[in-house]
Amino acid sequence: MKTLVIVTHPDIEKSVINKRWIEELKKFPEKYTVHQLYEAYPDGKIDVAKEQTLMEAHDTIVFQFPFYWFSSPPLLKQWLDEVILHGWAYGSNSGYKLAGKRMTLAVTAGIDEEGYSASGKYKYTMKELFRPYELTFDYIKAEYKEPFVYYGIERDSPSDKWIEKSVPMYLDFLNTLSTSSFGQGKLALHNCQDSL
């Protein structure tokens, strides 16, 4: 079954990595359904029934976005509030429509990995900062998978080589999601300072 990739980027044309990932995913329509929230809902009016049907049709769901103010772009928060509803996703009479589905994040982060540590600039690890997502997915009985993080987006003039380096890593991550061996272990972390 195909993987649903829900992309939330408010200015995809100015994107460096997210735009490139979308281009690559669209080469494999038999494997990935790419759904861009800002493209689908430029007015912010979300078709809840459509979104719920789309999620029900996929067993693996990835939320792809740039890390904004230690969270997601605002439309994803709105989407979560409006789509993951009581009576559908959770609650005694909901049937837990997303139960057992694999869910994770694919995130681009501005600074290097070291900045997201107890001794780093932002004092907290990505694992700690992602806890609201983990708890949300656990609450609706989905199977939370450790996220993919590509660090260092704020570097000056990222090279084409550095951008392209992220593509096979991201595809490998997505391919691994469907295997039973991929679980609650270490985040799939990728730093721009790795050897090019």
Please write the tens of the pLDDT for every residue from 33-63.
Answer: 999 999 999 999 999 999 999 999 999 999 9
pLDDT reading at 9 higher than 90:
yes
Q: Which residues contact 38 (CB under 8 A, 6 or more apart)?
A: 8, 9, 10, 12, 73, 75
Mean pLDDT computed over every residue of the chain: 89
For the entire predicted model, the pTM comes to 0.90
Token pair belonging to 43:
């007015």
Cβ-count burial 65-100 (b if 16+ within 10 Å, e if not): bbbbeeebbebbebbeeebbeeebbbeeebebbbee
The pLDDT value given to residue 111? 82
